[in-house]
Amino acid sequence: MLRRHGRWTGPLIAACFAPTAFGQATVNPDAEGRNIEGVPAPAIERFDPVLDAWWQDAVFYQVFTRSFADSTEGPWANDGTGDLRGLIERLDYLNDGDPTTDDDLGITGLWIMPITESGGYHGYEVLDYINVDTEFGDNETFRELVRECEKRGMRVILDVVLNHSSWNHPWFLEAQSSPDSPKRDWYIWADQDPGYKGPWNQKVWHQSPAGDGSWYYGVFWHGMPDINFENADASAAMLEVVRYWQEEMGVHGFRLDAIRHLIEDGETQDNTPETHAWLQDFFRFYKSIDPDAVTVGEVWSNAEVATRFVGDQMDIAFEFDTAYALIDSVSRQDRERLDVVLGDVLRLYPSGMYATFVHNHDMHRAANRFAEVEGATDEDIDAMIRLAASLQFSLPGVPFIYYGEEIGQRGMYIDYDNRAPMPWSTAPHAGFSSVEPKQEVNEGWRERNVETQRAVPGSILNHYRRVIGLRHAHETLRKGELVVLKTDRPEVFALARRPIKVGEGDTARTFGEGDFLCVFNLSGEVVEDAAVYLPEELRSRGVEDVLGGLMVLATGFEEVWTLPELKPRSAAYLKLD
């Protein structure tokens, strides 16, 4: 017999918490981004796009604190582990706060992966939801980090793990102690093994450590039991965690881990109506604390599923289909998957209401994916990384960068390899620490480090600075509508970005200051006489090449624009007069 409570609808009250965590929350159930639910999608209610929020102008950087920088002074200094003080010391690399300089990366949003006390290396096995792990610093240092970010025009969002706790969390230890425990129903129990598997055929029912014959539900693994969000007290306790980080610690929003799994209905274990209803309550709650706060959700599924969470449950969702398409199109030197995926994105999402990325902490790094291309040299790999960045920053949506991506850092999807220390220089220990890092630096760090790449004009790092700078300089590239253009070559991809009007009457606003045409040669060879087919509104224009991907620049366009030559793996951003 399953023990469940009705969905919480009561007041948002504070609850006691002695929060707790080994396995990782985010597991890819669907490596190709296909719909695995096996049921028809319900009708999708479209929301008007929100284009005037601060986060629509932001470029986010994802930081794994343990591996970013070891501090050079203070109580956490020089111990071989990254910490919050080390992150503060390196903030000028991300954004120095001076708009007249051009040697920072231009980051305006910081996503900090879990930093509270945890039972696991990665932080998703939560032991304490509100206290910073003493390995990284303390809560006051975190407040200082937020203040220092704000001085530089950056805002901070924190990874919050709502779906589960550690099995060593005091909540779960109390819950397993007795069927009569007040916290028993904070988790999901059965008197015997229900026997069914999880969404990707994994084991989800686990025998209680108490040895009383009961079973508990944990969708990711036995060390991370799921919270029962149909219990009013458990739900309120998690909302209090959110309130604490907003009001007491000053965060500007949250990255929401594994949110499609929050509430189950028997064997239906993701994307349930109850999950959507709880998130609607959650949306109203965090917006009541700070209307400008942003949430970005991890809905690891296709666009048709992810878009159902956007608009009234979270502000934006990570667009996994687009991430796969970016890697695949560059690797295969073919635009086909980009055409299909972007067609779905345009059809399904309110304009720009999603987050773009090339890879994250649960994937192989881009450098490793491109190394799988037959015959690829190191120079080819670097060129493919630059091309993927150009594609990402030409698209609508809010861009996210995984730390080290901007220098081509290597890493396979194994926790310790994909989250290796950031290489800062050719100094001992890659400039990460004055002592041997507790985790080994990835291979190739002597060439792929910040110091070395700063000095090379055509490096991956300097290319990232250029495309980020272009995006900051032109509102059309941040918020304009997307028009995918036809070409006569599978290896040539082209798009236009145009100003977009939102709303009607006196409240209507136009976002963008002119048209852009972006053309990409996905192949490793020079392409000659490629044709791009232009809609009437883009014809006969003067043009300024603001990125420099063309060998010969045209001065005006007709219905068919023939490009004499495109450099290998190049991107041309053309501003139309």
**Exposed/middle/buried for residue 438 (C-beta within 10 Å: 0-12, 13-18, 19+):** middle
**Exposed/middle/buried for residue 457 (C-beta within 10 Å: 0-12, 13-18, 19+):** exposed
Residue 399 dihedral angles phi and psi, to the nearest 5°: -80, 140
What is the CA angle 344-350-352, rounded to 5?
90
- b vs e for 332-346, b when ≥16 Cβ sit within 10 Å of the residue's Cβ? ebbbebbeebbebbe
Residue 118: alpha-carbon gap to chain centroid = 21
* Tokens coding 393: 């920053």
With tokens 């040539």, the residue in question is: 492
How far apart are the C-alpha atoms of 442 and 450, rounded to whole Å? 14
Residue 481 dihedral angles phi and psi, to the nearest 5°: -70, 160
Q: List CB contacts of 547: < 8 A, sequence separation 6 or more.
A: 390, 466, 467, 470, 571, 572, 573
Angle at which helices 320-332 and 378-394 cross, to 10°:
140
Outline where 307-424 has alpha helix (H).
Answer: 320-332, 336-348, 366-371, 378-394, 415-418
Decide if 257 is catalytic.
Answer: yes
Pair 390, 571: CB distance under 8 Å: yes
* Tokens coding 534: 């232009």
Looking at 298, 382, 405, 481, which residue is catalytic? Answer: 298
Decide if 545 is catalytic.
Answer: no
Outline where 64-126 has alpha helix (H).
Answer: 84-89, 91-94
Element (H, E) at 563: strand 560-566
Pair 298, 256: CB distance under 8 Å: yes
What is the CA angle 339-342-347, rounded to 5?
125
How far apart are the C-alpha atoms of 353 and 11, rounded to whole Å? 30
**Exposed/middle/buried for residue 291 (C-beta within 10 Å: 0-12, 13-18, 19+):** exposed
Element (H, E) at 236: helix 232-243
What DSSP designation does 542 have? -
Question: Shortest CA distance to 103 belongs to which of 112, 92, 113?
Answer: 92
Looking at 257, 319, 321, 382, which residue is catalytic? Answer: 257
What are the catalytic residues? Answer: 257, 298
